[in-house]
Structure 1
Amino acid sequence: MSEENGSASLEIRPQAQNRRLFYFPIVHTVQDMGSLASHVKEKHKSKDNHTHIASIARFWDLVEEEALSLLPCKSTVRIYQDALPICDHELQIVSDLVKQGSRNHAIVQHLMDNGAQVMGTESPDLLLEEYHLAKRVMEQGGQSIADGKAAAEILRKRDQFVAERINNTLATGEVGIVFLGMMHCIEAELSSDIEIIYPIGRPEASQGTAK
């Protein structure tokens, strides 16, 4: 495979002159939704089918295979996780979501068990703002034009925050692994010395982003 498309046998070696970021676009599951899970289950329970569930499981099998193939690593590895706020209990959040059945956070936990360091990644204020918006939209049974614009603006601000968090905490010669939903687009905000690698392919939201 080409470097952009990735390989199941990638070998990470320390590089003195740059920073490397392995970018995994992800599909969220109900188990990742926290307190919104009950709303999501109720809305989509009639649409659940074995084919869809099996497809999601295969997707996470691929992510797990590729992410875990990055270890062991001679460099410091930092994990950046969608919706994981900067706070004093990041490890507990990961642990709680693993117990709820999150494949994403189970992979994060496995990486941590092998020496990777999980980083608080997102702004708590922006996540709370998005949570209240999402809850209101679900309770009212649909999204208005104003809601859609508000959601897009929050996502843009979240992407800027995540990119700056990576820029400011991923040191020279270190390796980052970022798990972000398909709609995120952070590449344009990342520092030019960060080399981005897409082990399972590039997210559609960033296809037109030059880097």
Structure 2
Amino acid sequence: NDRTIPAWFYEQGFVRKETEITFNPKETRKIVIVGESTAFVTTIKRKLEEVGHHCYLVGNREAYLSILKQEEIDDVINLLNYEKQDADGNEIEKIRNANENGIFFISETIKACGKEKNLRIFTVTNNCEYSNIMKNKYHFGTLDGFSRSVNLELPNLMCIRIDLDVSENDVNSIIKEIAAIHRDDKVVYREGKRYVDSLQPIDMPLSLQNEIALIKDGIYVVTGGLGGIG
């Protein structure tokens, strides 16, 4: 009623959801894996080839773009942002690398393949979403919005981000996603369990009971109007 707060407020959360496995053993897909030739990457390639797929392993974007122009590729697995170590370094450099290996990578793929090509682009990251181990990596903040815009504007392309927690389950998690019907544009694995993005309503009366920590002389951004509240 007019004395209550409308259901305008939501927060991002994650819910458990299993994949819809549709792997056809007779189907052979051409898959490009982009990443360094580590044991992790070569294991992914070997397991995909064991079930009949044809895989190309390339270590840089130049070789990758060359293959895209020469072959009819079905799937791309971008492992350039998957790091085993969360190394310290210049924050601006981290943001630049994340964008080069994220949204710029997708842009170059679209340019090389054309808008009509049916293609799935899997961008693999680690611990970019909330975990108990480390803070979120805000360097990848632009990737989700860009990927979702591509999915809406270019229906032949499907951009999917897989965020892993660097565990022994990582290889199997990637293989599972390749074999799945994809309606989820962001998938998060934690301790072998699969989660997807979800908007969850905020209980405003309950949340207002919590003390709001305002910082003196702090800078705050108020977005949107919300019927005059802003």
| Structure 1 length-normalised TM | 0.37
| Structure 2 length-normalised TM | 0.34
Q: Which has the higher helix share?
A: 1
Structure with more contact order per residue of length (Cα contacts < 8 Å, sep ≥ 6): 1
Max radius of gyration: which structure? 2
